[in-house]
Amino acid sequence: MPLDAMQDVSDEALLVLFANGEPAAARALTLRLTPKAFGHAVRLLGNRAEAEDVAQEALLRLWRVAPEWRQGEAKVTTWLYRVVANLCTDRLRRSGRGLALDAIPEPEDEARGPLDKMQAEARADALQVALDGLPDRQRQAVVLRHIEGMANPEIAEIMEISVDAVESLTARGKRALSAALEGRREELGYADDG
């Protein structure tokens, strides 16, 4: 089956095809889910090398669980984000905090000038540093809500908490982030934005 024929196929259906041995489903799921797992792990860990290991491990678990996947019970992405978060939490607990912020690669954006691009990079880096300073659960909730762009009910399902608890975590997280960025307003060019 050609890869482009799978663009409209849901993750859940692809996983069934994968379990049935369809090679194209393996390729489609890899292309679709690896960036999500890796991106989320980088946000939670602040470290690319560790995030790569976590993403690979999370997806390996998905491949192994595929034959027992029950349709309609959970979204594949919900399951994946939960596993990634759990693996990241395990690593953070084992190694302690103080993770170095790796250079996060930036996509090429020809439309922006070099100064704008540098400023956006500096802001993203500063945000990641501030995120690293949050408690694990606050960081996870803020990343899922404001960077991954998920709705609170889906975040609640991923984190296995109530929607109210998600709102509380994101509110506290945002307050802490604002406070952390406060001292870097001029450096990050926020003063120029008015």
Partner 1 sequence: MQMTDKHKHGGELEAAFDAARSSRPEPSSDLMARVLADAQSVQAQKRAAPAAPAPRGYLRQLLEALGGWPAVAGLSAAGVAGVWLGLGPMAGVSDTVANYLGVSVPPVYSVDVMPGAELGLAWEEGAL
- Rg (alpha carbons) of the chain, rounded to whole number: 18
Site for partner 1 in 52-111 (CB under 8 A): 52, 55-56, 59-60, 63-64, 66-67, 104-107, 109
User: Which is nearer to partner 1, 38 or 81 (by Cβ)?
Assistant: 38
Question: Candidates 6-14, 83-91, 162-170, 181-189 — which segment interacts with partner 1 by CB under 8 A?
Answer: 181-189
The separation between CA 49 and the C-alpha centre of its own chain, rounded to angstroms, equals 15
The conformational region for residue 133 under phi > 0 = left, psi -120 to 50 = alpha, else beta, is: alpha
User: Which is nearer to partner 1, 57 or 136 (by Cβ)?
Assistant: 57
The Cα-based distances of 16 to 76, 79, 122 in angstroms read 11, 15, 42
Question: Binding of partner 1 at residue 172 (CB under 8 A)?
Answer: no
Position among 9, 32, 39, 89 found at the interface with partner 1 (CB under 8 A): 39
Contact between 46 and 101 (Cβ < 8 Å): yes
- Contact residues toward partner 1 (CB under 8 A) are 18-19, 21, 23, 26-27, 29-31, 34-35, 38-39, 42-43, 48, 51-52, 55-56, 59-60, 63-64, 66-67, 104-107, 109, 120-121, 123-124, 126-128, 130, 146-147, 149, 174, 177-178, 181-182, 185, 188, 190, 193
